[in-house]
Structure 1
Amino acid sequence: MRDLLRRVIAQFAVDRQVLALAFARMADGIGNSFLIVVIPLYIASDVVGGATFGLEEAMVIGVILSLFGFLNSSFQPFTGRLSDRTGKRKPFILIGLGGLAVTNLSYVFAESYLALVVIRALQGVSVAFIVPASVALVNELATSQDRGGNMGVYNTFRLIGFGAGPAVAGTIVTLGPYALPGGATITGFDAAFYIATITAVTSYLLVTVLISDPDRTAENAGADLSIPIWDTTGSKLFDPIFTLGVASLFMATAIALFATIQPQVNARLEQGATWFGLQFAAFIIAQILLQTPIGRACDQYGRRPFIVGGMFLLVPSTLVQGFITSSELMFGARLFQGVAGAMVFAPSLALAGDLAGEGESGSKLSVLTMAFGFGIAIGPLSSGALVGYGFEVPFVFGTALAALGAILVYTQIEETLEATRPVPVVGGD
């Protein structure tokens, strides 16, 4: 038992600041993912009213939830580049976390659809300050020999927070109102918003106390931060970081197809909401379990084998979801899709980090995080539009994207790990 505990601890033996940042992102992830469940319930309640601008309530929910993803992804290249120009990471993370804390609290006072739209839009912009700066900081605190492991640990804790929030958010709303000392009460909605605010403040304090910018980040600020599309070396057609961004977009789109077709999935499989929740969570479970070990493995065996293997595994694991007629098999397919995602995400960030020069991490790595965010937003919209043509059509579409992404990484990505390791000198004076 003691040896097992040592091995578990060793899995998270990374830079102290990376671990602190991972815990901070886990905390704000809990609060932010709370809102995925709470906002639709809040909109459907009697608390919210006002003009809907001709949109049905379901469409208002979709706009509010999607707006966050689109604005978050759209602003990431700008905040990432600004972070590189200034040579600072910590202030950008704190700006984003401060924005999250304020906007989470603002929901308590929001009583109109328009107010919710504005608040959620501001949250998207706030997170756009956090993501590129956080990933860049992890990249700069790591070396080529442990970059994958650091990325894996960071993503593991972030996903734990993201997965834990929805699991308890509905319960907190349902069990309200809550009695406070002095005879006052708060609704379940307000309790959820206060908890989300507390998690953001906790993250802010952790970053303030435990995180500092590496000196070399400021020293190398202001480098060439352009993101080329074409490969400037002439050995490939596309730039490798651009290629990874496109592959991340395709992967995220394929993964997110499942999110908005719950009625169709439940009807086809003759199952209830519990089974759908388990199937939806299967992807996150695989990510949490595998991000760290795969990240460490790619430090030893290389980035490219995992990225290529994950993209090719994504093809069948996406396609079968359109033809499965069993709840258990759908759970398995989603689990394997999660394995594919884990094989791609941390090694891709590590490979992009290997290629990023000093002071370029925010710009270069934001290409991947932006693309993934857009894919998460595009996927649900695509499945909603395509499922009317047949249950299997969205998954065939996602499979085509996954196949194209697999071809791109196989033909356009080269290994970076060996190139970054020092070559031992034999003999000599």
Structure 2
Amino acid sequence: MSENDEGAVTERSSWFIIFSLLVSTFFSGFGGGVVFPIFPALGTILGISPFLVGVILSANRFSRLICSAPAGAIVDRFGARTPYVLGLGIQAIATFGYIVALYVPLPEAWFLGSRIVLGAASALTFATSYTIAANVSVGDSRGMKMGLIRGGSILGFPTGLLVGGVVSDLIGMSAAFFVAAVFAVIATGLAYWTIPETHVEDGTSRSVKPWDIDTSIPTLTLGLVNFGIWFAYMGVLFASLVLFLEATGIGALGFDAQGSSGIFMALTVLSAAVSMLIGGKTSDTWDSRVPVMLVFLSLLTVGFVLLPWAESARQLAPVCVVIGTGMGGTLGPYMALLADLTPEERMGRASGTTNVFSDIGGGLGPIIALPLIESIGFVPVYTVSAGFPLFAGVALVVGLYVSTGKLFPKTGGTDSTVEAAD
């Protein structure tokens, strides 16, 4: 897309495209949120080990780990619209698989298979949504627009957490899974009718191999940041919070651990959605996005340090807000910084590559954390998890200094800077 084309898109339709992405990613994120209040309790319901529960929770991460880089290359070659719609549709089918799993022999195998398919499909939607947003954004509003897109799935997620916990508690798991599947179908239809192609010229494709990945230093650096954030937040907190509530007896609004975990996780994600917009918009106005990210990474660390010492809902609620604020405030400028430092023709691969790192972190978290919590308790596991955002901050500063020669590269980096670093 040329500068003139980009200007035309920005003036005439960029906000419509951003809004369409926002709504469809909201509906898609809803389905992802439903499972977390339910899945950690599968051990009791199905009589399986905590390790296998962790594998089921992480299966989508590991399948997306394999598919994210090829998905990004496919986007750079063929465009973003078709993979985006296709990914949403496959996610809807996979969500219906959860319902099937409740009524067939070997339900754990069905849950595992559905999570694997869901992960492969979400690789397409993540790589495409960020690429489309980057294509229609410019430097002085990029942080806010990228924050809005990330916030779409984030806002859908707490809705799913709340509905998943409350509906499963009041009606049953199958009802909660059915609602999630319906939302995924709505997201697919909305994307099909409203999202145009923005990444390749009509009737053309780029010479990019499906197995190509982006190995530039800025992309790998931001990938490490992604790893640190998602290991702690999604991999540890979301996989274990329902167990923490059971162990401490903390509840909210009269619900048991499943319903209460949905409420507290929703609180983290709602605060993340707000701070994502604040962080993205703030990074648009500052000379560099990096200091904004470091401030919010520090908040994420503080939240995990305080987390295991919460003894009541009144103490846990503000801790959840701090954790969500730290996570969301980092991710808004994070995606904008990736777009700043990546040439447009490599944006799909860069998005896919950084998603690989988040999937490694989010996938390893439950497998490592759940057995460790069972053996040594919550305090050491949550305390060690507090170090991962610190690792992300160090990786950010060091990697960008190696790449650009500056500790705080300016907002709206140029392609030449990145090319010089390759």
Q: 1:226 to 1:27 in 2, by over 3 A?
A: closer
Partner of residue 382, structure 1: 368
| Partners of 1:297 and 1:361 in 2: CA distance | 23
| Partners of 2:118 and 2:383 in 1: CA distance | 33
Superposed, which structure 2 residues align to 1:178-217 within 5 Å?
Answer: 189-214=173-198, 216=200
State whether structure 2 residue 331 is matched by structure 1 residue 345.
yes
Deviating 4+ runs (over 6 angstroms): 40-45
2:80 corresponds to which of 63, 86, 89: 89
Partner of residue 286, structure 1: 271
Residues 79, 129 of structure 1: 8 Å contact kept: yes
Provide Cα deviations, 1:46-65, integer angstroms capped at 9, x if missing partner.
xx8xxxxxx82655443322
Partner of residue 334, structure 1: 320
1:206 Cα offset (Å): 1.1
Q: How many residue pairs were aligned?
A: 380
| Partners of 2:98 and 2:366 in 1: CA distance | 25
* TM-score normalized with structure 1 length: 0.78
1:223 Cα offset (Å): 6.3
Partner of residue 145, structure 1: 140
| Partners of 2:179 and 2:49 in 1: CA distance | 26
Whose helix fraction is larger, Structure 1's or Structure 2's? 2
Residues 222, 359 of structure 1: 8 Å contact kept: no
| Partners of 1:64 and 1:265 in 2: CA distance | 19
2:231 corresponds to which of 253, 273, 276: 253
Q: 1:206 to 1:391 in 2, by over 3 A?
A: closer
Partner of residue 3, structure 2: none
1:66 corresponds to which of 32, 35, 58: 58
Provide Cα deviations, 1:147-182, integer angstroms capped at 9, x if missing partner.
111111112221121111131234444555xxxxxx
1:382 Cα offset (Å): 2.8
* 1:271 aligned partner, one-letter code: I
| Partners of 2:83 and 2:186 in 1: CA distance | 16
| Partners of 2:243 and 2:114 in 1: CA distance | 31
Residues 287, 341 of structure 1: 8 Å contact kept: yes
| Partners of 1:249 and 1:383 in 2: CA distance | 15
Residues 214, 350 of structure 2: 8 Å contact kept: yes
Of residues 215-224 and 255-264 in structure 1, the stretch that sits farther from structure 2 once superposed is: 215-224
Partner of residue 397, structure 2: 410
Q: Which has the larger radius of gyration?
A: 1
Residues 42, 189 of structure 1: 8 Å contact kept: no
Instruction: Give the 3-state SS of the residue equivalent to 2:409 in structure 1.
Output: coil
* 1:92 aligned partner, one-letter code: P
Superposed, which structure 2 residues align to 1:223-302 within 5 Å?
Answer: 226-228=213-215, 239-256=217-234, 257-262=236-241, 265-266=244-245, 269-272=248-251, 273=257, 276-301=261-286, 302=288
Provide Cα deviations, 1:180-210, integer angstroms capped at 9, x if missing partner.
xxxxxxxx55544443332222112211111
Provide Cα deviations, 1:225-259, integer angstroms capped at 9, x if missing partner.
64336xxxxxxxxx122111112111221223223
Q: Percent of aligned positions with the same letter in both sequences?
A: 19
Residues 162, 262 of structure 2: 8 Å contact kept: no
| RMSD between aligned residues | 3.0
1:70 Cα offset (Å): 1.6
Instruction: Give the 3-state SS of the residue equivalent to 2:345 in structure 1.
Output: coil
* 1:284 aligned partner, one-letter code: V
Provide Cα deviations, 1:120-162, integer angstroms capped at 9, x if missing partner.
2212211112111111111111112211111111122211211
2:384 corresponds to which of 374, 397, 414: 397
- In structure 2, the gaps of 5 or more residues are 1-12, 252-256, 401-407, 416-422
